[in-house]
């Protein structure tokens, strides 16, 4: 992989704070913000939960990969991704082409507390969401660690502190 863009790409598990931090970063940098889940919702004309329920996860993953291919490569942006985006290698490769991947990390207990506030995540609508979260975290953590260019811990920080830490970690912004 040769050329890499200057965008800031937020990766991490559900509840890591990617969407909120993405909004904060867009305000701070004045860069455009692209949220893959939002783009998928618009494209499909329905919620992520409805897509999972009607067409299934595979179809959602197809839409997700299509969306990653549509992200702009010609300007610095803030890119917010869904927690499963790295499951497909080609998504990871494309995101790396666009910029710097920041892994927003939090411990399992914190993630569970945050995701329990809203029942919008189809993957956690099971008999035992706590066990499911544990299982998903086990398979995804190695991917976040593999592809993350930098890690920012979010558990003990407020949104401003996390956004500041992301900007400090991202070389594109620091060099401006
Ligand atoms: C998913 C995470 C969700 C969303 C979809 C699948 C996942 O995004 O893309 O429900 O596989 O982890 P968030 O990480 O923003 O919750």
Give residue-wise pLDDT tens across range 132-163.
999 999 999 999 999 999 999 999 999 999 99
* Ligand 1 contacts CB of residue 85 (under 6 A): no
Distance 49 CA to ligand 1 centre (A): 10
- Reported confidence tier of residue 173, pLDDT bands at 50, 70, 90: low
Rounded Cα distance between 176 and 103, Å, is 22
Q: Which atom of ligand 1 is nearest to the CA of 80?
A: 15
* Ligand 1 contacts CB of residue 35 (under 6 A): no
Beta-bridge partner residues of 79 = 9, 34
Q: What percent of the chain has pLDDT over 70?
A: 96
Distance 151 CA to ligand 1 centre (A): 19
- Reported confidence tier of residue 120, pLDDT bands at 50, 70, 90: confident
* Ligand 1 contacts CB of residue 83 (under 6 A): yes
* Ligand 1 contacts CB of residue 121 (under 6 A): yes
Is the distance from CB of 141 to CB of 43 less than 8 angstroms? Answer: no
Predicted pLDDT of residue 171: 82
pLDDT greater than 60 at residue 74:
yes
Distance 74 CA to ligand 1 centre (A): 26
pLDDT greater than 60 at residue 2:
no
pLDDT greater than 80 at residue 176:
no
pLDDT greater than 70 at residue 49:
yes
pLDDT tens-place string over residues 8-45: 999 999 999 999 999 999 999 999 999 999 999 999 99
Predicted pLDDT of residue 172: 66
Q: Please tell me whether residue 157 adopts helix, strand or coil conformation.
A: coil
Distance 170 CA to ligand 1 centre (A): 23
Residue with the two structure tokens 């904060």: 24
Distance 1 CA to ligand 1 centre (A): 26
Of 91, 81, 102, 92, nearest in space to 148 by CA: 102
* Ligand 1 contacts CB of residue 99 (under 6 A): no
Rounded Cα distance between 37 and 85, Å, is 10
Whether the model clears a pTM of 0.85, i.e. scores above it, the answer is yes
Distance 87 CA to ligand 1 centre (A): 11
- Reported confidence tier of residue 119, pLDDT bands at 50, 70, 90: confident
Q: Which atom of ligand 1 is nearest to the CA of 13?
A: 14
Rounded Cα distance between 158 and 58, Å, is 34
Average pLDDT, the chain: 94
- Reported confidence tier of residue 3, pLDDT bands at 50, 70, 90: confident
Q: In Å, how far are 1, 59, 116, 143 from 148, measured between CA atoms?
A: 15, 26, 25, 8
* Ligand 1 contacts CB of residue 123 (under 6 A): yes
Of 12, 7, 2, nearest in space to 103 by CA: 12
């Amino acid at each position: 992989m040769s050329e890499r863009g200057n965008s800031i790409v937020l990766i991490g598990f559900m509840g890591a704070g990617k969407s909120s931090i993405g909004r904060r970063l867009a305000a701070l940098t004045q860069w455009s913000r692209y949220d893959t889940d939002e783009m998928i919702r618009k494209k499909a004309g329905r919620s992520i939960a409805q897509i999972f329920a009607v067409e299934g996860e595979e179809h959602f993953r197809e839409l997700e990969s299509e969306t990653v291919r549509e992200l702009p490569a010609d300007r610095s942006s803030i890119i917010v991704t869904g927690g499963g985006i790295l499951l497909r290698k080609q998504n990871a490769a494309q995101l790396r082409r666009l910029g710097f991947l920041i892994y927003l990390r939090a411990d399992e207990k914190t993630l569970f507390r945050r995701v329990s506030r809203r029942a919008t995540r189809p993957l956690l609508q099971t008999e035992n969401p706590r066990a499911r979260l544990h299982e998903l975290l086990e398979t995804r953590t190695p991917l976040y660690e593999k592809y993350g260019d930098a890690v920012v811990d979010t558990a003990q920080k407020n949104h401003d502190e996390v956004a500041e830490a992301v900007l400090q970690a991202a070389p594109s912004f620091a060099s401006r």
